[in-house]
Amino acid sequence: MTTRAVHEAPGLALTAALRSVVDGSYAGVRDRVRRTLSGPDFAYPEPGISLADHRESTMAKTKLLAAAGVGDRQHEDVGERIAAFKTVGLGDLSVMVKVGVQFGLFGGAIDRLGTEYHHERYLADVASVALPGCFAMSELGHGSDVKSLRTTATYDADTHEFVVDTPDENARKDWIGNAAAHGRAAVVFAQLETAGEGRGVHAFVVPIRDEAGTPMPGVTITDCGPKMGLNGVDNGRLVFDHVRVPREALLDRYGQVAADGSYSSQIESPGRRFFTTIGALVEGRVAVAAQAISVTEVGLTIATRYALRRRQFPTADGSEQLLLDYTTHQRRLLPAIATTYGLEAAHAELVRRFAANLADPSESGQRTVESLAAGIKAYATWRNTETLDACRQCCGGKGYLWENRLPALLADSEIFQTFEGDNTVLAQLVVKGLLSGVAADFEDLDLVGLVKLVAGRAFNRMDPRTGHDALDSDTGRLAAFQWREEHLVETLGARMKKLVVDDHVDPAEALNRCMDHGLAAFTAHLERVILEAYQSLEGPAVLGTLRELFALSAIERDRAYFLEHGYLSGAQSRSVPGRVDALCRELRPYAASLVDGFGVPDELVAAPIATR
């Protein structure tokens, strides 16, 4: 083991120090939102609540948060806005998603894709929820493949209108939040056609209901119906039958249609234009990544507090052992806590880069933000589902009771793996970015580009390397993570190149065959990113132990790879599980402070088994 600074004593001072690590420079806004959410108006809905009541109470809470200033795009700094969204993720997740749809997706699309006209016309009403709205991108036939959307918006130069139309069943807008009950307008993503020419996917503000709530002529709205969770959110389907909207409905920051129907854009390449449009929406993923971390923190707080109260089976001295004194229990909770602090560090870094790139945009800055956002979103949401399930198991039958919150957390957040980009698809995008370097268009899965990409790049045959220090120091562990990532990316590239260039395998099929290799590269990349951010995190000494536990748990899971390539010796590899056990034991006395450091208000923890 390494020598380390003597730890702080567990207790209030440590908790405060950890909280200031988690809150960073956003303690003010986070505390404000925590206070709002802790009020009596935000009591969790009863489990038997009807769909209609659940939706109404969720809408009411969304308006209360709006009144408290959450989601006001015209007066909030971007970092503050994301910190506020993240904090909303400590409470009821239907409210969180409703807030995300209204202010993040609907408001965000108008903000980022629209111009001054749209901002003045809409943003104040978005912020006050006077205009509840939808983000109508996904279609039944195209959830992940936005480029292939089939809804059309055809410009009619005679009337100066766009005609928005759903050509067939597969093109219906599906799974649209705020659509089934409350939305009055929608930002609709559609294939723009003008002057007889297709111009690719653009966004339009389309009224879908009048003030009385009646669907607009030509707009058919149906209800997705009950879901596994998030039933406070009214997901619906939208079908447009030649719905006419004025020329100003086009959110025209990146593409403009003149009155005569002629098209112009400051971005010449249609591919680049598409990715710029989509890239402008990256804030949604930045927010969801943060929210997944919040949800995990709530689950870990409940399970850890329970494990510090509940006893089972007698010990030698006749007393019964606390659950958290069992190794299996420690191994389920403490590495997850360690990973969560690492994700906090990585996400804070993402927010810094995001804000910096908004202030001073560059293409490479944008690509980095997109890749980081996609990666942290996928990694954090996968780990979230896994961790919450472990938390539920750690609480036994008690964890299955509705009153103890874990059932709602599990049911509500399971879909995080799918929405705002399916995790598997996002992981592929990240890996494609790694293969291509920063220059390539991040979301471009175009196959011709892929062929050029792998054909044109040299992939290094890396020399064998041995990580003598791979387990024993921060630098050694980081080097191991860097080696693994680089090795996986290089060998993936070489393999793709061989398949496509030498063996003439269809590029899509080649990508397909290498997908598991790609997922391994994804994990290696994210864990390197997290470890790097972790190592530059400042705070109490216990963070050093947490960081080591994060690194060694990750090596433990993937030690076959290190062994197969001789990076770790058999003896090194065999020592890893014992080191993980020892780190868990070392952190055990700090468990209460570690979860208190997440700063989940008692009113939001709410579970009777987690009473302090």
Task: Please answer whether residues 281 and 215 qualify as being in contact, where contact means their C-beta atoms are separated by less than 8 angstroms.
Answer: no
Q: Which is nearer to a copy of itself, 117 or 402 (CB)?
A: 402
How many angstroms separate the CA atoms of 426 and 432, rounded? 10
Number of residues that bind a copy of itself (CB under 8 A): 79
Pick the closer one to a copy of itself by CB: 511 or 600.
511
CB of 606 to a copy of itself, least distance (A): 14
CB of 239 to a copy of itself, least distance (A): 17
Min CB(330)–a copy of itself separation in Å: 9
Q: Which is nearer to a copy of itself, 497 or 559 (CB)?
A: 559
**Shorter beta-carbon distance to a copy of itself: residue 38 or 393:** 393
Within residues 92-151, the interface with a copy of itself by CB under 8 A covers 138, 141-145, 148
Q: Per-residue x/- mask for a copy of itself, residues 149 to 188, rule CB under 8 A?
A: -------------------------xx-------------
Q: Which H or E element spans position 174? A: strand 173-176
C-beta of 10 vs 399, nearer to a copy of itself: 399
**Nearer to a copy of itself among residue 85 and residue 562 (C-beta):** 562
Pick from 131, 130, 134: which is nearest to 109 by CA? 134
Closest CA to 203 of 149, 239, 241, 159: 149
CA angle, 107 as apex, 356 and 354 as ends, to 5°? Answer: 15
When the beta carbons of 166 and 330 are compared against a copy of itself, the nearer one is: 330
Of 243, 179, 248, 181, nearest in space to 217 by CA? 243
1 touches a copy of itself (CB under 8 A): no
> Of 183 and 544, which CB lies nearer to a copy of itself in the complex structure?
183
Alpha helices in 471-541 (DSSP H): 474-497, 507-513, 515-535
Using the contact rule CB under 8 A, the part of the chain among 4-12, 85-93, 219-227, 294-302 near a copy of itself is 219-227
What's the distance, Cα to Cα, between the start and end of the chain in Å? Answer: 34
Q: How far is the CB of 38 from a copy of itself (least distance, A)?
A: 23
CA-CA distance, 287 to 241, in Å (whole number)? 34
Binding residue for a copy of itself, selected from 422, 472, 532, 586, defined by CB under 8 A: 422
How many Å apart are CA 463 and CA 460, to the nearest integer?
9
Amino acid 447 reads: L
Nearer to a copy of itself by Cβ, of 355 and 563: the residue is 563
Report the site for a copy of itself in 262-321 (rule: CB under 8 A): 311-316, 320-321
In angstroms, rounded to a whole number, what is the distance separating the alpha carbons of residues 293 and 296?
5
d(CA 356, CA 419): 26
How near is the Cβ of 236 to a copy of itself at its closest, in Å? 12
Reading the block at residue 187, the tokens are 């930002």
Which H helix or E strand runs over 554?
helix 542-557
Stretch that binds a copy of itself, among 2-10, 104-112, 249-257, 422-430 (CB under 8 A): 422-430
In the complex, minimum distance from the CB of residue 400 to a copy of itself, in angstroms, rounded to a whole number: 5
Q: Which residues pair with 222 in a beta bridge?
A: 237
Structure tokens at 391: 């938390």
Site for a copy of itself in 494-533 (CB under 8 A): 506-509, 512-517, 519
Would you give the binding string for a copy of itself spanning residues 15-54, x where CB under 8 A is met?
A: --------------------------------xx-xx---
Q: Tokens standing for 123?
A: 């943003």
Closest CA to 607 of 373, 309, 312: 309
Q: How far is the CB of 338 from a copy of itself (least distance, A)?
A: 16
Residues 556-575 that bind a copy of itself (CB under 8 A): 559-560, 563-566, 570, 573-574
Q: Report the candidate in 24, 86, 82 with the shortest Cα–Cα distance to residue 538.
A: 24
Q: What residues numbered 337-396 form the site for a copy of itself, per CB under 8 A? A: 385, 389, 392-393, 396
- 246: alpha, beta or left? (left if phi > 0; alpha if psi -120 to 50): beta
Q: Is the CB of 339 or the CB of 491 nearer to a copy of itself?
A: 491
Instruction: Provide the minimum distance between the beta carbon of 310 and a copy of itself in the complex, in angstroms, as a whole number.
Output: 9
Rounded-to-integer distance, Cα 317 and Cα 323, Å: 16
Which residues 591-610 are close enough to bind a copy of itself by CB under 8 A? none
